[in-house]
Amino acid sequence: MSAGLHVDQRTDVLAVIDVQPTFMPGGELPVPDGDAIVPVINRLLCDRFRHACATQDWHPPGHASFASSHAGRRPYDTIPMPHGDQILWPDHAVQGSANAELHPDLDSRRCQLVLRKGWRPELDSYSAFFENDGTTSTGLGGWLTDRGARRLFLAGLAADYCVAWSAEGAVRAGFDTFVIEDATRAISMARPDGRTSDVLARERLLGLGVTFLRSADLG
């Protein structure tokens, strides 16, 4: 993507995905260098986008995605669930905890909606649009449509999980979808074939027509 993509202040929306201390260095499920995206996102919120929304992972204690909820299992094990395979995570983004709040340095004044996801005890929610069963809607698509949104630009954590799944959901919901690469960071988990989760996510999204760009490309 060449520099100078014009942001339409009427119909473009920035989606800030899970910018929470729980995913930052020192948090329960840290994304390497995750805190480095906060200043980039703040510049986008202040200088580029009039319309924005944010999501929070918001898990009850004992959530089904926590390794601690399954005897004999460890974080990053994978188990079958009714909706498909589930990676088991360290306890994170626990409702009411300080680390589950939006990052205190995030300038969220332009976030017209803060959507909490993953609050169902039995069902995880990577995507901002659909729970992990692939059918239960979070309501974000309707909110965006009602406000006349046409293009969705995604930033946040993690690039290879909640940002990637949110991008897939945005495509499915009919939005032109962009990922702002310097406003995201990835977990980069190794997969059985030797490739990492961020490489696989990028390939998947490119195949769906998602555009990758950097914040400097936006004018």
**Positions marked active-site:** 18, 117, 162
Cis peptide before 158 (omega within 30 of 0): yes
The dihedral over CA atoms of 29, 101, 166, 68, expressed in degrees to the nearest 10, equals: 40
Taking CB atoms within 8 Å and a gap of at least 24, the contacts of 96-99 are 97/22, 98/21, 99/20, 99/21, 99/22, 99/27, 99/28
* Residue entry with tokens 């332009």: 110
The H or E element that residue 108 is part of is none
Other beta carbons less than 10 A from residue 217's beta carbon: 17
Query: How many helices (H) and strands (E) would you count in the chain?
Result: 4, 8
CB contact set of 176 (below 8 Å; sequence gap of 6+): 150, 151, 152, 211
